[in-house]
Structure formats: structure tokens, C-alpha cells
Structure 1
Amino acid sequence: MAAQFGRRLRKGAATTAVAALAVAALSASQGPGAVGDDHGRQSAGVDLGLGADSPEGDGTATGNSRYFTDLPPLQSPNPAPTTGSDTPAATGAAEAGIPATVLAAYKQAEASLRESKPTCNLPWQLLAAIGKVESGQARGGRVDANGTTLSPILGPVLNGYGFANIKDTDNGAFDGDSRFDRAVGPMQFIPSTWEWAGRDGNGDGRKDPNNIFDAALAAGHYLCRFDHDMSVQAQMNAAILSYNKSTEYLNTVLSWLEYYRKGTHEVPDGTGTLPSHHSDEPATSTPTPTPPVQPSPPSGPRPGGGPTSPAPKPTPPATPTPPATPTPPATPTPTPTETVDHLTNMGAGKLTATAGDTFAQKIAVRTDDKAGKAMGKVRVRFTIVGDTDATFAGGESVATQVTNKLGIATAPALTAGEKTGDFTVRVTVVGRVMAGLDYTATVAARQADALARTTDTAPTCVAGGEFAGQVEVKATYKGAAADKVAATATLIKSATDTGENDKGPYFKDADGKPVRTLAALTTDADGLIKLPKLYADDTTGTFLLRITTTGGATLTVELTVTPAPATATPSASPTAS
């Protein structure tokens, strides 16, 4: 097992040196070529691929919490389990086994992302690699039939001692801690990230970070945000580093990804192998032994009858040193986040856009302290709230930005969906309980300002027949084709009475019954609408078809129904004389 492999690395200087070279070679062959410091963090001057707006500190899925550092065996996994052996082959087979329910969750998440975000190219083995490093595959698959862990999997308290300092954001709802946050579940999401990244992967109507189906799907969406493509190594590296910002973490995940790609097999839930070494454990070393103190020879007669040494004079007791006055602990300097008192709107007015368009304005806020001084390096979260399909750039409903030196954070461009009406963009400070700012945004329906027929042929028909052609019109807005615009077609009584006519031409519904109003029409990508066939009853004359669109475009088409030709009456047969 990896745990055994890790222990072997620590036995003896020679073994340690050989193993270190092997691990270095493995990481170098699979990692991004980044340089890390002695804590596994990224060294200065090396591009992590996170982008200029990448959040700092706890700006990751896990809050940079602890993870397992055990590496996979160096040989390819052997899909056939070998029992009763401690050979590397047996180790490889055990490590390649993934608990059945956990494996199903990874593969289901991959299938879901293949449909919702096909350009991400997310392999389920990447989720398996992260699940191995974060929780040892849900502690070896200790989950129930629905995929929920049998007991909570919690990371360490993120109180600033050895980890990020993330004050409580969920009132203890997920992690049971109302003072500080902790990473939760098999994929180790911190509550503030799960709040927006959580997904319902098993269709039970809940988003539970302790459920492997929910957590795996959430992890997939988290990795695929910002249009990351996992088939591009640099973008995959950036996505993994956004999960935990550590070069050592990246190399460890990539090692397991490569290992699982070579072959895995299913094992029963609860029987997976468990890693044992954490990222926050100090490196072990062999202490230099202290030489034993040699005892002084006893005074008095020596063996053999030699002269005796005079008895030493008693040493007077030393004057006790008064205890030192304890130094009070230094008051920690508050972080910029802790000094923020309120958010200030930086000029965003009424936010309006037509469905499918990008909002012209971007939301920008400034983080100020009580004195009104702007605070830089503060993480600000923008969340879309309400029944809307509007998104930020990249297709996400949440975006986190870091304020610049002027204390200003600007949200990504906001794109309207097809749902019309109002929704809210809520701005809050990450890690700070305080009033936020709400912005109302309005999505207006697509519209047209002109309609025209695509042909000049006058629609005519004989009574009781059907019109030869179908009426087709094109909608435009400011001269350009107006796509996805709602329209209505009605056979009206007259130019002055737009009520529905009860005689004359008509359309047919699915059952073949006459209808004279079509209310669910929409222009296509070229702004065109082709109406269904028209039929005529036995009423002759001129009739009007009126088409209107959202935005006020109107077109009236004349329909002519002529009398049916007279049918010749056959003469009577002559009577035989």
C-alpha cells in the first residue's frame, strides 16, 4: 500500500536517498515544471496559471487544507488482485482498486459534464485522483447505498494555525463549527465554496458535501469553470491548483491521475486502501544522539588503600531567581478583510439587457473601513440570485474577485439568459459577516421593430379549399435580423376591430380543428417565421391576417377567398319511347 511505501522511504539514509530520487523523477515527469519551496508552496516568480484575478489565501475549494501526500506505486497497477503477498504487484493491485459507489460517482460526474460542459473534457480519473488525495476515496469507500459518508469527513480547523484563517461562513451547518470553517466531505469543500459550487449529483433534491455523488459533480464543475479544458495540460494544472494552491499538491494529484489512467478496478465499498501521510506532518529525521554523561568517581577510600580525597565542602543553596514577568501576547494585526466596515457602490446604475446580450455595465464595489479608507487585497464575492439563467463570463453564477490597491473589485461581464424579468446580483465580503450590496438587473425580451413578407405573392383560395402557399415573414431590429423574437398571428375581423374573426380562413390545430390565433410563434436564427397552412371555409371575400411581435412590429396580410366554380348539372337520361 502507499502507506507502507511511505514508511519504507523513511528507513535509513540510503533508502531515503534512493526513494527521494524516484519520487522526484515521478513528479518531474508528470508535474507542470513548477518550482516549490520547502513547504510545497509555489515559489515566487513561477506562474501558477491562475490568472491576475485569482483570489488569495483561502481562494480554493479546500481553503488550502491538509491532504494526503502518499504517492502511488512506481510500477503500473495490476488489475488482478493478488492475495497473501506484500510484493509491489500486490500493492499496485490494492492501490488501483476504487470502492464501487465512489467509482460510480466519478464516472457519473464525467458523463454529466460531458453533456453540460463538453469542451471541458473532464476525465473521471482526475476526480478519482483528487478524491484519493483529499479523503482516501471517502476513507476507503465508507459510504451508504446513496453515497453519503457513514461519518463526517472533516479537515482541520482553519483558524490560522498552520492553515488558512477562515472564519465561520455557514454557522456550523456543514462542518459543525460556528467559529471557523473546516473542509467537509470526500472532496473536502470548505462551506463558503460549497455555498455556490454545490451540486445535486444523485437527484435527491439536496446538495450535500458529505455525499460522494454531489461532491464529485461539484468538483467537476469547479474544475471546469472559467472554460478550463482538461485536455490542455496548462489549463488542467491551473484547475488543480485552484483546488489547493500548492505545487506539491499538483504533482501528487497528477501522479495519481497518471496511475489511474493505466488501469483501475472496482472493490467493495469500505475495502479501499487508506493513505497515512498528511501534508501538514513535519518531515522525519534521525536525531543526533547525545553522548552519555560520565559519572564522577566516588570520594572516600580508593580500592587498594590509596590516600583519601578530602570530603567536598557543602555548596550553599543558590538564591532562587524570581520568576520572570510573563510578556503579554502581541495583539495580532487585523487583516484587510477584518477591517472592512462597508461596501460602496462605484457607480453602477440600472442594469438592463436584452435576452442573450451582455450587460453594458459592470458591477464594481469598493471595500471601506469605518473611516471610509479603501482596503485592498480583500476577497469580494458576486452571486446571482433569483429565477434567472443569467451568468457571469464562463457560465458561472458566482464570481470572486480581489480588490486592487484602490480597494475596488469589479465583477466579470454579466450575460443575460433567455428568461426575462428581474434578478439580483448580491455582493458580499468573503470571510466577513456584514451587510452586502444588492443590485437589481432586468432582462428584457428580444424585440423587433419591423416585419416584412419574404414574397410578393397574394394569398388566395377558393371557398372550402386551402391556400397554395404558406405565409412567411422576416423580423428585423434596427435593420438586423431579429432572432428568437416572440410573435402572434391572428385572423382579425377588420382593420379597426382586431378581435378574432369567427369565419373565413383558419389554421388547424393538432387535432385538425380550426384555430384563428397562433400565440406561441418565435423567429428563427435568421428572424424568419413560416406560418402553418391556411384553409378556407365557405365564406368568400377579403380577410385580414395580422402578425405582431414583441417590440411593436406589426404586419397585416390580405387573404382573398373566391367562390368555388359552379359544378355542371348532368342532363336527365332520355325516356325510351
Structure 2
Amino acid sequence: MAAQFGKRLRKGAATTALAAATVAALAASQAPGVITDSAGRETAGAPTPDASPQADDTASGNSRYYTDLPPLESPNATPGTGDSSGAATGTAERGIPATVLDAYKKAEASLRDSKPGCNLPWQLLAAIGKVESGQARGGRVDADGTTYSKILGPVLSGGAFANISDTDNGAYDGDSTYDRAVGPMQFIPSTWEWAGRDGNGDGAKDPNNIYDAALAAGNYLCRFDWDLSNSGNLRSAILSYNNSTAYYNLVMRWLDYYREGAHEIEDGTGSLPNTPSGGGSGSGNSTPSPSPTPPATDKPGNDKPGGGGGGGGSTTPPTPPPTTPPTPPSTPTDTVHHLEDAGTDALAATAGDTFADKVSVRTETKAGKAVAKVRVRFTIVGDTDTVFSGGESVATIVTDKSGKAVAPALLAGEKTGGFKVRATVVGRTVTALDFAATVTARQADALARTTTTELTCVPNGEFAEQVEVKATYKGELADKVAATATLIKSAEDATENDKGPYFKDANGKTVRTLTGLQTDAGGVLKLPKLYSDDAVGTFLLRVTTEGGATLTVELKVEAPATASPSPSPSPSA
């Protein structure tokens, strides 16, 4: 993260005091009624961001971030000018390392194609990347976009940060006891497991690769069909990344700053992080201290919602820690004993359709009493491309006052077969509930030709018209329905005929059965050209679909008619 704030004001009043005051001013602009703790994170009493209970699950686990602010430039600042110390202002901070900038722009382009309604600007990724890791520690990445060393957040063992026990056996963060945020966009392992993406096309999903991490961050921000051109949706998305109003305000400052202009600089030449939330100095360390130093005690009224901002301006000595750590207050999650099915019906849908029912569970105490305000995570498990509405395979919902959590609607993919939806309690080990679900193939119950033209051909010729049929299901067009076409021996014998009309494969060889066919978006299936050998007569083509629809089409092969000779004229009298 850039050291811009400290360098720019090093010859003025106390830098850290000014930084703290600025961050405090940012936090003062938060929405009415939002409650934050001493680190600027919203507390349990704070409202859930913009009516999206899933936003309660954060990408970074509310881990440490960097509180450095954009330079306070004049709109008419001369490019390349600096303060009296020679430190560049403005234009230096607008520089983004080339590979990092390329990753942000490629992620924006990818999301423009896959989720056009999201309207994700690359400048938002740049703002988050600045706050989370100082643009991958000033662009210290190789040619493929992978950081030269892992960027790890603090150990999430409670205290100043979230308490998240290990979920990846140390695979991403090297810690098999607790989780740590990983990579330039600072994903916690449990979130990366489902949100990770392959942004550079190398077949891997690496949180330490800026292309993978930027695309994952973009997809994460665009889930739940959020439109980021809407200020409310944008706020929800940022708070879902790190549930802190101070964090939201800081990201917005950098977003506005980069929207005013940014330029490419050489990899590895960006400025390093300076002021991490929670106290201490960033100074470019790739692995912050595992045990964050508690923020110093300030004078009354000197709030630091950014988590400490580096100290300074305080004359009151820190309060010594108590000899016996206080017992943490009990939370609703601590009282959960088990999960109960809250009335989930059979989960079945046709490929491409929305499941009629949703998974519903209830969190209960040992005595069977409902527990509200508990996070329940729903995960789609198995070899399936079915997703929740919003396009993800994981969703986290907070239980309502009756202890009930209802998963988002399931959208069936094209893969048929069974899978499971697993419900677990976030932050507590209780037996999971699994719900069986099934996706069946698309079906048609009727087939009809789109024309009534008679299909005829001469021996060793080709049919002038291709066979075209339309499939329907319960009167509606049946798209993407699997079909088979076979030239059969007779109406009673559906085995493949060995003579008469035939199709050709890609190599020009005779084929009399076509499999793997599929109706188009309008329910239409147009077969390839038909040819005939030297056999004459009436032949049958049978088309069948998934769901049992059947149509038999007549094909006639007739020898060409022989012209009758003209009668000889009678001799003249």
C-alpha cells in the first residue's frame, strides 16, 4: 500500500494524527443507525447491507486492510509535481503496475460478457486492490501475474479480527489451525474455495495470482444480480467484501480517485502499504504479524474507526491487559444444538428450469427452541452445474426470528442426475443437513414436420429437401431436447435398415442412425441431407426425443419416368 499519506505530510503536523482524523471523518459519514466496533467493523446490531442477508459472509473475513488515503490534490495540480520534500503527489499514486492494471481491465471485460447487468468498473477492483494489498505490494508479480511471495493477512484467531478456524488444512495460507486472508485481493480460504476463478487461462485457480484474484473479486461483487451502477447495490457489494463502514468509505474514496484518472507504471515500482488497520506499520511486509497489536488507548473523543491507523496524538498510556482473559459474550450461534428441516419438499427440476421448491432449515437449541440471527451456509455438493440464483454454488443466509433460513432458488444446469444441497451453521460445529436434488433431461411429448412437402428421390441421388421437425412439451416449444434419427426397416421393426436412404458423416461414409441431436432455441431440429442408394420403394425415417415423442416420416425412392416415343406420322396419300 502506498506510503503516500505519510510521505506527503511528513513535513507538516503529526502524520498519523492527521490520518486518524481523516479516517474518523470518513466514518462519521456512515449511514444513520450503523453500529461499529473499535476497529470500524459493523457489530451484530448493525443493519444487514441493503436487504441482502448473504452479505453477512465476507470475502476477506473482515481481515486487516490498509487505511492510506488518496492524496488531497488540487483539481489543477501540475502532473509530476511534488511537495517541498520532493515526494510526488497525485500522479504517482495514480500509477498502477502494468500487470495489475491489465488484470483489472481483463476482469471487467470478462464480467461485461458474463454478467452485463452488473456494470462492474475496473476502478472498483483497483480501489479494493489498493486497500487490501497496495496493488499486490506495488506490482511485485511475475509475467503470469503471480506474486513473488504470498501475501497473507493476520491470523484470524479472534481479538481484533474474526475468529475463523482452519478450513483448508493450510493449503492456501500455510496455517492448519486458523485461516488467514490470502493474495492481492485477500480472500479467506473458505470463500476462495467457491469464489476462485481462473483468470489467466492456465487451468489453475490461485489466490496469489492477480488475474485469478481480480476475476474472482469481480464475480464475488457481481453475485446476487447486484447492479453496481446503483449506489445501494454498490454499497452492499463493498460491505460484503469487508463488513465495515470505514472500509466502505475508504474504498469509495479510492474508487472516485481512480475514476478521475489512472495510468500504467512498470511492475514492481508501485508504492508499498503504509498504514494497516488495527495498528502497526505495513511497510511492505508480505506477511503481517500473526498477532495484531491491540490499538493504543486514545484520549476520549479521539476515535479511530479504521482500526488504529498507526497511533500518534495520544498521551494516555495503554491499559495493561487483564491477568485473566474475560470470557467472551455468548452469541446466538453458541446456543445452536442442531439443524432441522423446515419443510423442504422434493427437489427436482428439468434442465434449464428453476426448482419449484427451496431448501429451508431451522436452527434450534438442544431443547428445540428456535434460534434467530444465526448464519447458515448452503452449499451445492456433487458433479452438477446447478447453481443458486446469482450464479454461485454457495449462499449464506441469516435465520429470521423463527430461526428459519431459506436458501435462494436453485437454477438447474444442463448436467442431469443427482446432487446434494448441504446446510451447515457458520461458526459452530453441528451435524450438517443434506438434501437430495435431481435434474432431469429436457423433454418433448410431440413432434411434427414443419412442412408437408413429399420427400422423394431417384436411385443414387439426393433428396431435394432436408427433414425438419418441431418439438413441443405440453403445448410449449421444447428447446435443447436430445433426439435421435434412424432409418428403420418398417413401422413394426425399428431396427436400422441396411439399404435405401442414408446420411453421410464428416468423412462421407454412409450413416443410417444419428445420435446426439438437439432441438434449437425454437424447438426445431433440422436433419442433414439425405441420399439414396440404388434401392427403390418407400422407406421410413423415425425421429425420437427425450420424453418419448416420436415421428415417422416416409421417404420415396422412385426410378425416373421413361418418356413415351412420339407416334410416327402416317404416310401421305
- The reply to whether residue 383 of structure 1 matches residue 379 of structure 2 is yes
Alignment check: 8 A CA contact 1:463 1:563 kept: yes
Task: Indicate the SS of the match to 1:195.
Answer: helix
Q: Output the CA distance in 1 between the equivalents of 2:232 and 2:199.
A: 28
- Partner residue of 1:527? 523
Q: Which amino acid letter does the alignment assign opposite residue 213 of structure 1?
A: Y
Out of 144, 155, 159, the residue aligned to residue 146 of structure 1 is 144
Distance (whole Å) between structure 2 residues aligned to residue 366 and residue 34 of structure 1: 29
Cα deviations across residues 479-501 of structure 1 (Å, max 9, x unaligned)?
A: 22211111111111111211111
**Secondary structure of residue in 2 paired with 1:425:** strand
Could you say if the C-alpha distance between residues 380 and 216 of structure 1 is closer, same or farther in structure 2, counting changes exceeding 3 Å?
A: same
Q: Which amino acid aligns with 1:119?
A: G
Measure the CA separation in 1 of the matches of 2:122 and 2:323. 54
The alignment status of 1:354 with 2:356, answered yes or no, reads no
> Which one of 414, 422, 443 corresponds to residue 418 of structure 1?
414
Equivalent pairs counted in the alignment come to 530
Kept in 1: contact 2:52–2:236 (CA 8 A): no
* Amino acid in the other structure paired with 2:50: L
* Match 1:215 to one of 205, 213, 216: 213
For residue 472 of structure 1, the aligned residue among 459, 468, 472 is 468
Q: Counterpart in 2 of 1:455?
A: 451
User: Which letter maps to 2:233?
Assistant: Q
- The CA deviation string for residues 43-84 of structure 1, in whole angstroms up to 9 with x for no partner, is 99997643152454xx21112222211111122598965699
Match of 2:117 in 1: 119
**CA contact under 8 A between 2:412 and 2:439: conserved in structure 1?**
yes
Deviates more, 1:417-426 or 1:152-161: 152-161
| Maintained 8 Å contact 1:77/1:96 | no
Distance change (3 Å), C-alpha of 1:289 and 1:409:
closer
Find the counterpart in structure 1 of residue 276 from structure 2.
Answer: 278
Q: How does 1:529-544 map to 2 (within 5 A)?
A: 529-544=525-540
Q: How does 1:356-371 map to 2 (within 5 A)?
A: 356-371=352-367
> TM-score scaled to structure 1, two decimals?
0.82
Are the counterparts in 2 of residues 425 and 440 from structure 1 also a CA contact under 8 Å?
yes
* Match for residue 249 of structure 1 among 226, 239, 247: 247
Q: Distance in 2 between matches of 1:568 and 1:446?
A: 55
Q: Describe the shift of the 1:175–1:231 C-alpha distance in structure 2 as closer, same or farther (beyond 3 A).
A: same
Answer yes or no: is the 8 Å Cα contact 2:54–2:395 preserved in 1.
Answer: no
Moved more, 503-512 or 185-194: 503-512
1:560 paired with 2:556, answer yes
Determine which structure has more spread, i.e. the larger CA radius of gyration: 1
Q: What is the alpha-carbon distance in structure 2 between the residues aligned to residue 115 and residue 241 of structure 1?
A: 25
2:101 equivalent in structure 1: 103
Gaps of 5+ in 2: 280-307, 567-573
Once the two structures are superposed, the pairs formed by residues 37-116 of structure 1 within 5 Å of their partners are: 40-41=40-41, 49-56=49-56, 59-75=57-73, 81=80, 86=85, 90-116=88-114
Residue identity in the other structure for 1:463: P
Shift of 1:200: 2.2
Quick check: 370-379 or 18-27, which moved more?
A: 18-27
Q: Which residue identity lines up with residue 519 of structure 1 in the other structure?
A: T
Larger mean CA deviation between 103-112 and 219-228 belongs to 103-112
Deviations 1:20-46 (CA, angstroms, capped at 9, x unpaired): 689959997xx9899776864569999
Which deviates the most, 499-508 or 34-43? 34-43
Alignment of 1:2-17 (within 5 A): 2-4=4-6, 11=13
Contact 2:336 2:363 in 1 (8 A): yes
8 Å CA contact 2:49–2:55 kept in 1: the answer is no
Residues 537 and 557 in structure 2, CA contact (< 8 A), matched pair in contact too: yes
Which sits farther off after the overlay, 281-290 or 333-342?
A: 281-290
Change (3 A) 1:180 1:98: same
Alpha carbons of structure 1 residues 280 and 415: separation in structure 2 relative to 1, 3 Å: same
Cα distance in 1, alignment partners of residues 109 and 76 from structure 2:
25
Question: What's the CA shift string for 1:231-262, capped at 9, x where partnerless?
Answer: 22322222111111222212211221222222
The alignment partner of 1:399 has SS state of: strand
Label 1:137 to 1:353 Cα distance change in 2 as closer, same or farther (>3 A). same
Separation in structure 1 between the aligned mates of residue 443 and residue 388 of structure 2, nearest angstrom = 23
Describe the SS at the equivalent of 2:405.
strand
Distance in 1 separating the partners of 2:263 and 2:399: 47
Query: SS in structure 2 opposite 1:50?
Result: helix
SS at match of 2:485: strand
CA distance in 2, matches of 1:162, 1:25: 20
* 1:550 corresponds to: 546
Q: Name the residue aligned to 1:224.
A: 222
- Once residues 334 and 222 of structure 2 are traced to their aligned partners in structure 1, the CA distance between those partners, rounded to angstroms, is 31
Q: 2:503 aligns with which of 503, 507, 522?
A: 507
Counterpart of 1:392?
388
Q: CA deviation at 1:548?
A: 0.8
Paired with 2:23 and 2:401, the residues of 1 have a C-alpha distance of 44
After TM superposition, give the deviation of residue 403 of structure 1 in Å.
1.8
Asked whether the equivalents of residues 129 and 260 of structure 1 are also in contact (C-alpha less than 8 Å), the reply is yes
The residue type paired with residue 165 of structure 1 is N
Preserved contact between residue 490 and residue 518 of structure 1 (Cα < 8 Å): yes
Q: Distance in 2 between matches of 1:330 and 1:254?
A: 36
- Structure 1 Cα separation of the partners of residues 242 and 546 of structure 2: 49
2:39 and 2:160 in contact (8 A); partners too = no
Mapped contact 1:345–1:366 kept (Cα < 8 A): yes
C-alpha distance 439-19 of structure 1, shift in aligned 2 (>3 A) = closer
Residue 442 of structure 1 aligns to a residue whose secondary structure is strand
The SS at the match of 2:60 is coil
Does the CA contact (< 8 Å) of 1:6 and 1:70 recur in 2?
A: no
The aligned amino acid for 1:105 is A
Find the counterpart in structure 2 of residue 301 from structure 1. Answer: none
Cα separation, partners in 2 of 1:398 and 1:16, compared to 1, 3 Å: closer
CA contact (8 A) 1:475 1:523 kept: yes
User: Within 2, Cα distance between the matches of 1:79 and 1:519?
Assistant: 69
Unpaired segments ≥5 residues, structure 1: 291-325, 571-577
**Secondary structure of 2:51 counterpart:** coil
Match of 1:168 in 2: 166
Q: Amino acid of the residue matched to residue 269 of structure 1?
A: D
Q: Does structure 1 conserve the Cα–Cα contact (< 8 Å) formed by 2:460 and 2:534? A: yes
Residues of 2 paired with 1:6 and 1:210: CA distance? 30
Instruction: Give the distance between the partners of 1:526 and 1:101, measured in 2 at CA.
Output: 44
List per-residue Cα deviations over 1:504-547 (Å, max 9, x = no partner): 22233334443222223222222222223333332221111111
| 511 and 43 in structure 1: CA distance in 2 versus 1, 3 angstrom threshold | closer
Going from structure 1 to structure 2, the CA distance change for 1:226 and 1:23 (only over 3 Å counts) comes to same
Q: 1:123 to 1:179 in 2, by over 3 A?
A: same
Residues of 2 paired with 1:79 and 1:211: CA distance?
35
Q: Which amino acid aligns with 1:118?
A: P
Take 1:267 and 1:431, find their aligned partners in 2: how far apart are those partners? 42
Residue identity matched to 2:401: K
Aligned to 1:91, the other structure's residue is in SS state: coil
Distance 1:433 1:202, change over 3 A: farther
1:206 aligns with 2:208: no
Give the stretch that moved more between structures: 253-262 or 41-50: 41-50
Select between 77-86 and 391-400 the one with higher mean Cα deviation: 77-86
Q: Distance in 1 between matches of 2:177 and 2:44?
A: 32
Percent identity between the aligned chains?
A: 65
Aligned-residue offset at 1:129: 0.8
Q: Which amino acid aligns with 2:460?
A: G
**Is the Cα contact below 8 Å between 1:494 and 1:544 reproduced in 2?**
yes
Give the C-alpha shift of residue 143 in structure 1. Answer: 2.6
Q: Give the aligned residue type for 1:465.
A: G
Residue 128 of structure 1 aligns with which residue?
A: 126
